[in-house]
Every structure is written in structure tokens, then in C-alpha cells.
Amino acid sequence: MGVYERQQKEKKILEAAFQLFGQKGFHGTKVEDVAKRAKISKGLVYFYFKSKEDLYMAITRKGIDELKDMIFKSFGKAKEKTGLDVMTDLVEGYFTFAQEKKVYHDALLYFLSTLNQYHLDKEKVNPLLLDSQYFNKLLQSHHDLAKLGIKAISQGIKDGSIGPDLQAESTFYTLWSMMIGYCQLSGSIRLEPSDIRINSESWKNGFLKLFFEILKGSDNPYKSPPVQGKLF
């Protein structure tokens, strides 16, 4: 089998998996389902991917690569955009990504939760994940997302569009956690009882207002006590 043919087979498997993970979720999808959708043998799926977990991590890596590309585009022509401009494009792009590429976003959240468990107690992580080449590649590269966000905030502090009292790393991780939390909770807003005066539009407006107020900084910045070692 030639290189091109192998690439096409792998592409068919990933496309079938993407569709099924979107329809059935990770737990509801089986490797034989993917093989049937891709119109190839189950054995051939395992030739390319060691397990369903390995396949899901391949999907995750593809999604993170798309998100990184989106962030790169947010920078545009750096000389013409302030750091705040970049962060504005970044948050809008992330919300679009979460909504329109839900399979990738769900895979990203799954990876982040697994990553947390990996650091707490590696022995409790699914061994099929630990054996995945894509999971191990993601362990080495997932910080790229944070580095781009930190770069945007640092640029904004330097050009004056973002509060000078802010610390780029801690500010990015705070805002990153806010964006993830917003996307995870956005569906529940529609189910809130009538005595809670909120809807999707008002919450998004309030969220963005708070988001950018944080970026603009404060005239009376909080000074955290010195700590030992690295923050992250």
C-alpha cells in the first residue's frame, strides 16, 4: 500500500470517527461502528489506531491543531492589532469553535480532564490512553495553546491596551478557565427557572463585559504574596 493510499484510508477512518463521536459520544461509539461507517475492516482500523482511545486522541489532536490555527489567525498583522484586539478575536473564535466544532471541543475537554487526573495519579488513567501515541504527543504540545494566549496578553500589556498591573500567565489561565466554564454551562441557562432572571444573550453580554474588564486591569490592583517556585 502506497503512502497516498494509506493517508486516504486514515482520513476515511478519522472522518467516520468524527461523525460517530458527534452522534453517539465517545462511550457510545465502537470501533466496529467506525469500520462500518468507513467501509473498511475492523482489523484495518486497528492497523492505523491501537484502540478507540487512540483514535479519539487523534481526533483531539486534530481539533487542537484547528484551535491553534484559529489563534494564529487572531494575531493577523501584529503591527496593526493591539493585544486587546487579538484577545477579542480569540474569545469570539473560541466560542465559534466550541459551537460549530462541538466534537473537537468535547474531545479537548475530555483531554484536559484526563490531563488533570494524569498529574494527580497517573495510575488511575486508562492504560489505553497512556499507550496512545497521540495522547503522548498531546502531552508534549498542549501548552502551545497557552503560550499563544499568554503572548497576546503580553503584547497587550506592552502596547497599553491591556492593564499594566496584570501578570500575563495567571491572567490567561484565569480567562481560559472562564471560557471553558462558560461553554460547559451555556446549555443549562436555557433550563433555569423563571425566577432566575437570565437568558443566553444576557449572560453572554455579562460574561464578555466581565472578561474585558479583567483585561483592562484595575486602578487598585491586588498584590499577591510572593510564592516559591513556578505558578504552573
At residue 5 the predicted structure's pLDDT band, cuts being 50, 70 and 90, is confident
At residue 194 the predicted structure's pLDDT band, cuts being 50, 70 and 90, is low
Q: What is the pTM of this model?
A: 0.85
pLDDT at position 186? 76
- Residue 164 in this model has a pLDDT that exceeds 70: yes
Percent of the chain with pLDDT strictly greater than 70: 87
Q: Which residue has the higher pLDDT, 193 or 215?
A: 215
As a whole number, the mean pLDDT across the chain is: 88
- Which pLDDT tens digit goes with each residue over 44-102? 999 999 999 999 999 999 999 999 999 888 887 656 889 999 999 999 999 999 999 99
pLDDT at position 3? 79
pLDDT at position 220? 45
CA distance 9 to 63: 19
Q: Which segments of the chain does DSSP mark as H helices, in order?
A: 3-28, 31-38, 42-48, 52-75, 83-100, 102-120, 127-130, 133-141, 143-159, 168-189, 200-216
Q: Which of 1-5, 16-20, 25-29, 76-80 has the lowest mean pLDDT?
A: 76-80
Question: By the 8 A CB rule, do 104 and 59 touch?
Answer: yes
CA distance 51 to 132: 8
Q: Minimal CA–CA distance to 19: which of 5, 1, 46, 39?
A: 39
Q: Which three cell numbers stand for residue 17?
A: 470517527
Domains, the chain, ordered by start: 1-48 (1.10.10.60), 51-216 (1.10.357.10)
CA distance 10 to 145: 26
- The Cα-based distances of 121 to 48, 116, 125, 126 in angstroms read 29, 9, 7, 11
Most confident of 7-16, 189-198, 212-221: 7-16
At residue 162 the predicted structure's pLDDT band, cuts being 50, 70 and 90, is very high
Q: Which of 35-39, 63-67, 200-204, 225-229 has the lowest mean pLDDT?
A: 225-229
pLDDT at position 217? 82
CA distance 227 to 7: 49
- Which pLDDT tens digit goes with each residue over 118-133? 999 999 999 999 999 9
- Which pLDDT tens digit goes with each residue over 93-117? 999 999 999 999 999 999 999 999 9
Q: Which three cell numbers stand for residue 72?
A: 494564529
